[in-house]
Structure 1
Amino acid sequence: MPQTIAVAGATGDLGERIARALIAQDAEVRVLTRTTGDSAATDALRSLGAKIVPVDYADTDELKGAVGGANAVVSALSGLAPVILDRQTRLLMAAVATGVPRFIPSDYSLDHTTIKDRSNRNLQLRRDFRSILDAAPIRATSVLNGAFADMLTGVAPLILFGRKRVLYWRDADQPMAFTTKDDVAAYTAHAALDPDAPRFLRIAGDTVSSRDLATIMTGISGEQYRLLRAGGIGALRLMARVGQAFSGTSDDLYPAWQGMQYFGNMFSGDGAFHALDNDRYGLRAWTSAREVLQDR
């Protein structure tokens, strides 16, 4: 009998990919969407066989009705404290109240369990929610995937394509984990269907350094890409603090200073993985950094 998985945040980029991956694995998918949600996204998922469940996150009874009877709840909610702490906690409490056995929080990041406390605003929200989740009587599994490899094509200013430079801080040979959103979604779908999934699953589609990226881009383009040292970790974190201080209170999820915080965690090695669970659900072809950059 197919498992039923409730997915919150499925009208977002990653959430939609997770919902699609679950449908491809023959799960019955409930897409929880706010009543003001994107109808184009929900229509696309409905056409694939997902059940669309409009829900008001402030309505406890609606939330219970939306998740009740599911085998697992997968959160792909994206936002700041009102979403990651408040809305996601209400989702968790509804799952607990209705006896849902498993919960996957919206983590999908580098290892926020090992980074310095308060060193990254967005990841601190995951750390704070982890305390709430671990106190709840439900089996939880966090999928940690490093950085999204899709960002290597220009969203994250790591590879300066116009200048043919690759930035680094402190150490050009610091290994960094990158995983595409499609690979994260497929793996998360397996985890959602796995009643024995552990508390943390760490995956990496590829692990590369800035030096590796320079070599990859030189090979792809036929032009020499060189390394560019942007400074040390201390200076990077100072710039992030200054940027945050001058930005004041902002609803921007990824301001420039937040990117600096991520780079600080990556190049310091604080959020690095020391063991991977890539093969838990069998051997698969993971998308490499080279493949992502070749398709740019």
Structure 2
Amino acid sequence: MSITVGIAGITGKFARELASALLKYPDINIKGYCRDPSKVPESLSSKVSLSKGDAFDTSAIRSFVAGCDVVVCCYLGDDKLMVDGQKALIDACAAEGVPRYVASDWSLDYTKLKLGELFPKDPMIHVKAYLDAQDKVKGVHVLVGMFMDVFFGPMFGTYDASSTTFKYWGTGNEIWEATTYRNAAEYTAAVCADKSAYGIKKFIGGRATIREIAESFEKVYGVKPKLESHGSVDGLFKKMHELRKNDPQNVFSYMFLFYQYYMINGRTYLGTEIDNGQYPQVKPVNWEDFMKSVPKDQLANAFFNVGNDI
């Protein structure tokens, strides 16, 4: 029996990776929703059914979700989009009899956080509560740690390609849990194909300390990277809050420090009780595997290449 998967925000990076992964399932049909269908690559648009509309066009959204067995939200934007936009999708799913909704999560375990602690994840907390209160739509929350592709990017601040240096807070022995965009998309596709999958699903490509990541880097690329400590985990907490207090509008000066803090302080770990084994057809891509797949001179730009070869 075929399954119809709706992807809201199909022009995004993760959405394109997800669509590509779903297309490998012969019994899955894909419906896509976005503001501008012309931005969907022809290699993809020729294989999916596209609907045009914005996140708050109720009639267009209901038309899009109608007939779907599961809807996946791939929105990425401000709090209004991430909360109210998702609520509009969930309401449409309830009205049209769509039994499952995959929330726009793909992150560390934000369910262990209080509102305001890791502020970019507050919308996810609100949406999960909204889904938990539903009686017609079952929520699905795919947690993957962080994206490896982002870890090596210049914005995140842990890897400096120009000096081949890994920069870290803490002892260097803190665990980093991460999954590549593509691997996360593969697991999400498997969840979509599994009609019994709902609730929190945890998938991890790799767990490693920054010291172990540096060792893998040397093994893969034949170059020994430098390791540079910025200070203690408590020092990171103080630094990120100082930056936010002194210049709150300059969000990018401190946002990734908040992510780093909650990634390594242990609060948001997915841990070892994960769901990878439920879908053995998906091979987890660990830190070393990822580096083997990306040339050294392209590592810092890996994030920008996500979804481009679909």
Fold match (TM-score > 0.5):
yes
Tell me by how many angstroms 1:205 deviates: 0.8
Which residue does the alignment assign to 2:60? Answer: 62
Distance (Å, rounded) in 2 between the aligned partners of 1:77 and 1:192: 17
User: Kindly tell me: are residues 70 and 78 of structure 1, through their superposed partners in 2, closer, same or farther at Cα, counting changes over 3 Å?
Assistant: same
Q: Partner amino acid for 1:266?
A: M
In 1: Cα distance, 2:226 partner to 2:113 partner: 29
Q: Which residue of 2 is the match for residue 40 of structure 1?
A: 39
Per-residue Cα deviation, 1:169-223 (whole angstroms, up to 9, x for no partner): 2231111111111111111011112121131111111111111012112223433
Counterpart pick for 1:266 among 263, 269, 272: 263
Q: What are the ranges of 5 or more consecutive residues in structure 1 without an aligned counterpart?
A: none
Larger displacement relative to structure 2 (79-88 or 99-108): 79-88
Partner residue in 1 for 2:241? 241
Deviates more, 1:83-92 or 1:158-167: 158-167
Aligned to 1:113: 111
| Rounded Cα–Cα distance in structure 2 between residues aligned with 1:55 and 1:223 | 49
Separation of aligned partners in 1, 2:41 and 2:223? 44
d(CA) in 1 for partners of 2:115, 2:85: 23
CA contact (8 A) 1:9 1:32 kept: yes
**1:30, CA displacement in angstroms?**
0.5
Query: CA RMSD of the aligned region, Å?
Result: 1.9
The farther-off stretch of 98-107 and 158-167 is 158-167
TM-score (norm 1): 0.91
1:147 paired residue number: 146
Question: Which residue of structure 2 aligns with residue 182 of structure 1?
Answer: 182
1:1-296 counterparts in 2 under 5 A?
1-26=1-26, 27-34=28-35, 37=36, 39-41=38-40, 43-47=42-46, 49-137=47-135, 138-155=137-154, 156-249=156-249, 255-274=252-271, 275-294=273-292, 295-296=294-295
Kept after mapping to 2: 8 A contact 1:115/1:265: no
Which letter maps to 1:146?
G
- The residue identity in structure 1 corresponding to 2:33 is L
Change (3 A) 1:63 1:187: same
Which of 213-222 and 95-104 deviates more?
A: 213-222
| SS of aligned partner of 1:52 | strand
In the TM superposition, residue 249 of structure 1 has moved relative to its aligned partner by 4.7
Compared CA separation, residues 110 and 242, structure 1 to 2 (3 A): same
Residue pair 1:153, 1:292 contacting (<8 A) in 2 also: no
Residues 177 and 244 of structure 1: is their aligned pair in 2 closer, same or farther, counting only changes over 3 Å? same
> Structure 1 CA distance, aligned partners of 2:80 and 2:129?
16
For 1:246 and 1:41, the matched residues in 2 are separated by 41
Same amino acid, percent of matched pairs: 24
Q: In the alignment, residue 267 of structure 1 is paired with which amino acid?
A: I
Compute the displacement of 1:24 (Å): 1.7
Equivalent AA in structure 2 for residue 50 of structure 1: V
In 2, the alpha carbon distance for the partners of 1:221 and 1:74 equals 37
Is the 2:186–2:282 contact (alpha carbons within 8 Å) kept by the matching residues of 1?
Answer: no
Shift of 1:38: 5.5
Q: What number of residue pairs does the alignment pair up? A: 290
Tell me how far apart the structure 1 counterparts of residues 116 and 81 of structure 2 sit (CA, whole Å).
18
Q: Please identify, of 262-271 and 224-233, the stretch whose mean Cα deviation from structure 2 is larger.
A: 224-233
Q: Which amino acid aligns with 2:166?
A: V
The one-letter code of the counterpart of 2:175 is P
**C-alpha separation in 1, matches of 2:58 and 2:223:** 58
User: Could you say if the C-alpha distance between residues 40 and 60 of structure 1 is closer, same or farther in structure 2, counting changes exceeding 3 Å?
Assistant: closer
Q: Which runs of 5+ in 2 are unaligned?
A: 296-310
CA distance in 1 between counterparts of 2:163 and 2:113 reads: 31
